[in-house]
């Protein structure tokens, strides 16, 4: 697999040549510095200074270009933006307006993050910024595909080779994604196992979309391996991977060998490891991705343990309005209907979905309002996506 990844990197360098588009200027810290993740925000969100303001921005290696919301850009020249990540200075450089309704104030993309020696510490919920790249850092080869032209808005991308149940796959490293995504066609070999349908996702490239999930017996990148990782798939994800493939080929020009992308590697895999982006002779040479397994794994909870409901917050009455159902759904089996408003679980008022609901096999009492009437329903909490046999 290392040989395949190295060949992948060589093809990118040889076909695309030296980029004409200048890299984002960065100033690295004099010593390693930790930045805490913002509480109740997606993994890898840190406070960042933009001009005179300090705002939470998502560090997203799967988002090619740094993008800021219109409100964050107010009063700023987006063609000469400057960011401060603790002691790190980035810019001046062009940032894009963030048009997708993600509920974020902005994203620090791969144009900046590929230039920084940094590591993600999911157990401690922090990002560590380092003063230099480490040429001898162990890890699996990381292919940084840079744009030969400034108008190539879908680059840079950080690509890494892995295997899904022994079958080779190429992933976009995506520290902005809570889940790990795989092409729908790659899940056909997994069709005999349990699937979960009706998952709602908010994406930066397709807005709100629906997805399905299966669990992989094994998912590995280099020597790092997980078991039972949920793999999400959706037509919108397939279309985005197709777009990225086509734009990489167009950017490389005539004679460029097509690049196959199989998915996005997100936190449902990465959370089990210390994630190092420090390996390399420089920001663009001999890069590696370091994945060191964390000794304890009590900082995350198993995905998809619940009662199979899709919610939206309700203000009157305060609670959660049922918008839909997963499949399977213990709640639908128990008679919950779309439009019901859940106001309490085991007599405790709720304004957001319990996390977790309870261990699988536990019964919970849900108080709901329907057409002005209050009733109580007993629901069984289940593991909605069991491990494959």
Q: Mean of the pLDDT values across residues 139-162?
A: 91
Residue holding tokens 């690049």? 259
Residue 20 has pLDDT above 80, yes or no: no
pLDDT at residue 100 in the model: 66
pLDDT at residue 2 in the model: 35
Residue 131 has pLDDT above 90, yes or no: yes
10 Å Cβ neighbour count for 17?
11
pLDDT at residue 15 in the model: 38
Convert the pLDDT of each residue in 97-108 to its tens digit.
Answer: 987 666 789 999
Residue holding tokens 């343990």? 305
d(CA 56, CA 66): 13
What is the homologous superfamily of the domain 305-383 according to CATH?
A: PDZ domain (2.30.42.10)
Q: Phi then psi for 231, rounded to 5 degrees?
A: -115, 120
Residue 314 has pLDDT above 60, yes or no: yes
pLDDT at residue 353 in the model: 84
Q: Mean of the pLDDT values across residues 200-228?
A: 91
Q: Mean of the pLDDT values across residues 94-119?
A: 90
Convert the pLDDT of each residue in 22-59 to its tens digit.
Answer: 899 999 999 999 999 999 999 999 999 998 899 999 99
In which residue ranges of the chain is CATH 2.30.42.10 found? 305-383
Claim: this prediction has a pTM higher than 0.85: yes
Q: What percent of the chain has pLDDT over 90?
A: 77
Q: Which of 104-118, 174-188, 197-211, 312-326 has the lowest mean pLDDT?
A: 197-211
Q: Phi then psi for 22, rounded to 5 degrees?
A: -65, 145
pLDDT at residue 101 in the model: 62
Q: 240: part of which helix (H) or strand (E)? A: helix 235-252
Average pLDDT, the chain: 90
Q: Which of 155-164, 212-221, 252-261, 345-354 has the lowest mean pLDDT?
A: 252-261
Convert the pLDDT of each residue in 173-190 to its tens digit.
Answer: 999 999 999 999 999 988
Cα 236-237-240 angle, rounded to 5 deg: 90
Nearest to 154 by CA among 241, 237, 91, 65: 65
Convert the pLDDT of each residue in 230-282 to its tens digit.
Answer: 999 999 999 999 999 988 888 877 777 778 999 999 999 999 999 999 999 99
pLDDT at residue 337 in the model: 96
């Amino acid at each position: 697999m290392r040989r395949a990844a190295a060949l992948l990197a060589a093809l990118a360098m040889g076909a695309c040549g030296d980029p004409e588009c200048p890299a984002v200027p960065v100033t690295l810290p004099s010593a390693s510095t930790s930045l805490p993740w913002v509480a109740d925000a997606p993994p890898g969100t840190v406070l960042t200074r933009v001009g005179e303001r300090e705002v939470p921005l998502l560090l997203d290696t799967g988002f090619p270009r740094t993008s800021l919301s219109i409100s964050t850009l107010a009063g700023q020249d987006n063609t000469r933006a400057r960011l401060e990540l603790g002691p790190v200075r980035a810019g001046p450089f062009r940032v894009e307006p963030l048009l997708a309704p993600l509920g974020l104030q902005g994203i620090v993309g791969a144009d900046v993050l590929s230039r920084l020696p940094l590591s993600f510490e999911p157990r401690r919920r922090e990002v560590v910024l380092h003063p230099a790249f480490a040429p001898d850092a162990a890890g699996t080869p990381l292919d940084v595909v840079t744009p030969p032209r400034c108008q190539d808005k879908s680059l840079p991308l950080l690509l890494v080779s892995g295997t899904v149940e022994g079958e080779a796959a190429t992933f976009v490293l995506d520290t902005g994604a809570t889940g790990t995504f795989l092409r729908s066609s790659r899940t056909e070999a997994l069709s005999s196992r349990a699937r979960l349908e009706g998952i709602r996702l908010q994406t930066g490239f397709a807005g709100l979309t629906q997805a399905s999930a299966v669990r992989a017996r094994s998912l590995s990148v280099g020597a790092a391996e997980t078991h039972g990782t949920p793999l999400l798939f959706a037509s919108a994800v397939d279309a985005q991977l197709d777009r990225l493939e086509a734009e990489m080929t167009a950017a490389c020009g005539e004679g460029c060998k097509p690049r196959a992308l199989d998915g996005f590697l997100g936190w449902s895999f990465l959370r089990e490891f210390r994630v190092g982006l420090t390996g390399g002779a420089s920001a663009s040479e001999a890069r590696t991705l370091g994945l060191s397994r964390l000794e304890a794994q009590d900082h995350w909870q198993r995905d998809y343990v619940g009662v199979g409901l899709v919610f939206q917050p309700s203000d009157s009455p305060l609670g959660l309005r049922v918008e839909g159902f997963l499949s399977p759904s213990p709640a639908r089996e128990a008679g919950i209907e779309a439009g019901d408003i859940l106001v309490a679980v085991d007599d405790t008022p709720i304004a957001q979905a319990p996390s977790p609901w309870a261990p699988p096999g536990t019964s919970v009492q849900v108080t709901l309002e329907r057409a002005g009437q209050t009733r109580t329903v007993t629901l069984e909490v289940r593991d909605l996506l069991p491990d494959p046999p």
